[in-house]
Chains A and B, each alone.
Chain A
């Protein structure tokens, strides 16, 4: 099964939840525990929908997106930010156009799947 969704989160519970939901929908999923692992997966060729946690140690979600842009790893991907906060902080300044959607945790599985299917259709167009 082709990897279509990447969940980037330092919280194992969140990663496992997304993985189970995606597998139940027959969607290929890859997990990354940090921004650095996300970049490694992108360097290895992943293209798809990236569910990116905002708050992560060392390299947070915004810094990971900045690194994606600098390394030209953004094209072909759709980025959806995941956070437990009510409002994101100002670190998104300058990278806002690269974030297509935003979900608060805990997320509704049905809404997650609906969003993933919509954005995967966009990703298919990008290939």
Chain B
């Protein structure tokens, strides 16, 4: 089922265990969830498999050319930037690192378009640096709901802090609260 609602999560150092905490708690949602984690292959596939084992929604690496589907979790593969077209079709591109990383959260979030229908949520979680700050500003600009992880639960507060400092973040939450917030914002998968 092509997705109408989309959640994009950007995360880096400390990400695997934080994502595990969120997906352990999250019930199936009527949305596609795209995770952009700063990770290199072959760890990316292993992280996806590890999350799949605890998630109520299937988790897999995003493939070039596929359309995101509701009720699925996608992990951006290492070594590429991931962009989405207006129909939420995945484009994997090689190129220069952005914010010193690839995949970059800013690249993915900045590729999003304003949606006439559906819910868009952008979240920036634990990580070094400031990747995701420009992305979260863009998500807000195109009508999305924005979340940053709180300082107390962040392994590294760099990325969530930079996102919050943009002034474009709606909610500052712990991983458990992020799971609960997503459940409030997005209808369950039918």
> Which A residues are closer than 8 A to B by beta carbons?
74-75, 78, 81, 87-88, 92-94, 96-103, 115, 118-119, 121-122, 125-126
Q: Are A118 and B16 in contact (CB under 8 A)?
A: yes
Contact status A126-B42, CB under 8 Å = yes
Using known A-B contacts A87-B158, A97-B102, determine if residue A126 contacts B13 with beta carbons closer than 8 Å: no
B38 & A96 in contact (Cβ 8 Å cutoff)? yes
User: What is the interface of chain B, defined by CB distance below 8 A to chain A?
Assistant: 12-17, 20, 38-40, 42-43, 46-47, 49-50, 78, 97, 100-102, 128-129, 155-158
**Chain B's nearest CB lies how many Å from the CB of A113?**
13
**CB-CB nearest 10 A-B residue pairs:** A93-B100, A97-B40, A102-B13, A125-B46, A122-B46, A97-B38, A96-B38, A98-B40, A94-B100, A96-B101
Nearest CB in chain B to that of A102: its residue: B13
Q: What is the interface of chain A mostly: helix, strand, loop, or mixed?
A: mixed
Which residues of chain B are near A97, meaning CB under 8 Å? 38-40, 78, 101-102
Cα distance A103–B39 when bound, in Å? Answer: 17
In the complex, which residues of chain B have a beta carbon less than 8 angstroms from the beta carbon of A101? 13-14, 16-17, 155
Given A78-B43, A88-B128, A126-B46: A102 in contact with B155 (beta carbons within 8 A): yes
Q: Which residue of A93, A99, A115 is within 8 Å of B13 (Cβ)? A: A99
- Contact present for A115 and B17 (CB under 8 Å): yes
User: Contact at B14–A122, with CB atoms within 8 Å?
Assistant: no
